[in-house]
A and B are shown apart, each in its own frame.
Chain A
């Protein structure tokens, strides 16, 4: 059988509740008293009943639903786009025109259904029938589909041709006018379900669902038991009051409004608009002189300071003065461990231990006994997150202790004073052959190398209190006799 029948991959079309609502309206439109008045359409010598003008449809919707005429026009347009009504004079133009252009109702078999998508086999049969009727004249995109389907469902092709011939012959048993109407219906259906290139595919619905919305739930004990368990867990979840979370959101928005380049504009200018990359140059990761906005942002909260590399650099200067530089270095080393190569995890963890955590280490960090115990135990089997507890401890220490002092320190104030406020650039008019000199930014590889060199230099020149103390100790100790 075709694969669709054995599909246990749990891909179901989502529920499209609006389809049933449109169907109800469609049925109301048919009422001889309250529905829409129909006319006959004359095609060549034949006359086919049940044609409706666009204006009539619009008026009926307005009167029935009591909405504004814009909405009614939009709604009517959707009816046409989803294939419930199809236009007669311009078949490919699936829009509702509020004038005398004629439309007709689609037969219920061809209404879009949530459970079924239009089948490839049916489309192949339709194209084959069209081939027979029009003696091979298909549209370009139809020809492409035809060839593609021939390859895709080649094993069914004999059936497709047989069925197309039979359906064509069966169609001949009906009246001429009915045959014409049937052709129009089928064409409209496939215009909606296999849209030609350039037309909007309204039946596209995004991602498939994991559960089948059509499935009838079995009322077994097991099902109820699972439901009860689910709801009990759901009640037990901790929730934040919406007033609290919304308040937090408002506060965040107010604080960061001035920093948002889209909402408040950016100085010197938005590079995407003026083609001037100065904004990016001024805000480079480790630029010499940062902008004022950036430096002010470090005062908002500690995480803003920590996530900005320039901020970390400045903070490190401050910490060195306070002799707690190893805290930030340790934090950075832990981040490197967490986000670095899996293959280097073990050696990095060991290095960090030797450098920061071991008793008598060169840059020993001050963490409490329990955390040290957990960390040392974890280091026996190192993984990425083995130093999480220690890192959090140090983070909180920096945040509660050093951060406050940093903001009042002369280092920060100096940085704030030095910070530059860029001028707003006037949009330069391009010459006739507007060729702009494109400056390319430095390659990320080079940037990373520079960072590593800077780190190595810093590690080599760092003088820590323990080293100093140990040097002093050694100086004070009596020289061993030669």
Chain B
């Protein structure tokens, strides 16, 4: 029961971290906007709540002496996943702070980098917040005002990580991964029809295929002509 709850919480945190990373990638590019900054703020706060919840749950379990050995190993594995996730989150938050300072949105002289992005990130944010549509309600200069909050939150996360280090004694290197290398390939994620990326990036491959197909067609045509001629010759003689 506890295990499932922990896993669910961890999955949620993982999802929010991935979405946050995705959004931080777009700061400073042409998809950047006040909405993005607001999305960042909301995602970040959600991530922090989840992190605190995760930590509380996992620390209570790890401190519990009545847990069996396999269960303990499992919880330690979850703890390692959690701490790595938190590290990634902290790094992204720091990057967001730096980039936020470098690319304030309302300054006319500072132009956004033309990265080729044209769409927005509202879908990603909605996924992070687990809502259908995002509502934007912040003030006009949230990009500047949010930075102070961001700094405080980074400090908070840093302190939390330090506390975790000190209080919970889980040697990371003893944890063995459950998944083998290449496990992601067995996943049921549909890759299929969506990406134009696959089509153009695999240019070389497709050219090879086309040339192979052409060669096959030519060869079979020649073969058919040869057979027809042979039949004609036989018939005429």
Known: A155-B177, A157-B179. A163 touches B196 (CB 8 A): no
Q: Is the CB of A46 within 8 A of B196?
A: yes
The answer to whether the Cβ of B102 comes within 8 Å of any Cβ in the partner chain is yes
For the complex, give the distance between the alpha carbons of A183 and B128 in Å.
21
For the complex, give the distance between the alpha carbons of A107 and B27 in Å.
8
Chain B residue, CB-CB nearest to A51 = B116
Q: Is the CB of A107 within 8 A of B196?
A: no
Q: 1/0 per residue A95-130: CB within 8 Å of B?
A: 000000000111111100100100101100000100
Q: 1/0 per residue A4-16: CB within 8 Å of B?
A: 0100000000000
B109 CB to closest chain A CB (Å) equals 8
Which one of A109, A175, A177 has the greatest number of beta carbons of chain B within 10 Å? A109
Query: Quick one: which of B114, B118, B174, B178 contacts A175, CB cutoff 8 A?
Result: B118
The answer to whether the Cβ of B91 comes within 8 Å of any Cβ in the partner chain is yes
**Tally of chain B residues near chain A (CB < 8 A):** 73
Tell me the dominant secondary structure on chain A's binding face: helix
Query: Quick one: which of A32, A131, A170 contacts B111, CB cutoff 8 A?
Result: A32
For the complex, give the distance between the alpha carbons of A46 and B178 in Å.
40
Known: A109-B24, A180-B197. A104 touches B116 (CB 8 A): yes
Known: A2-B87, A105-B115, A107-B115. A154 touches B177 (CB 8 A): yes
The answer to whether the Cβ of A221 comes within 8 Å of any Cβ in the partner chain is no
**Tally of chain A residues near chain B (CB < 8 A):** 73
For the complex, give the distance between the alpha carbons of A113 and B164 in Å.
28
Chain B residue, CB-CB nearest to A180 = B197
Query: Quick one: which of B18, B80, B199 contacts A163, CB cutoff 8 A?
Result: B18
The answer to whether the Cβ of A19 comes within 8 Å of any Cβ in the partner chain is no
Query: Quick one: which of A48, A164, A174 contacts B116, CB cutoff 8 A?
Result: A48
Q: 1/0 per residue A132-153: CB within 8 Å of B?
A: 1111100000000011001000
The answer to whether the Cβ of A215 comes within 8 Å of any Cβ in the partner chain is no
Q: Is the CB of A161 within 8 A of B29?
A: no
17 A-B pairs with CB atoms under 8 Å apart are: A1-B165, A43-B200, A48-B118, A104-B116, A107-B29, A108-B103, A109-B95, A122-B88, A134-B198, A136-B185, A155-B80, A155-B177, A156-B177, A167-B18, A167-B21, A168-B189, A177-B116
Q: A116-B91, A121-B87 are in contact. List 11 more A-B contacts (CB 8 A).
A: A1-B165, A30-B112, A109-B28, A147-B181, A150-B181, A156-B177, A170-B127, A173-B126, A174-B123, A179-B197, A183-B201
A interface with B by C-beta (< 8 Å): 1-2, 5, 23, 26-27, 30-32, 35, 38, 41, 43-46, 48-51, 104-110, 113, 116, 119, 121-122, 128, 131-136, 146-147, 150, 154-159, 161-185
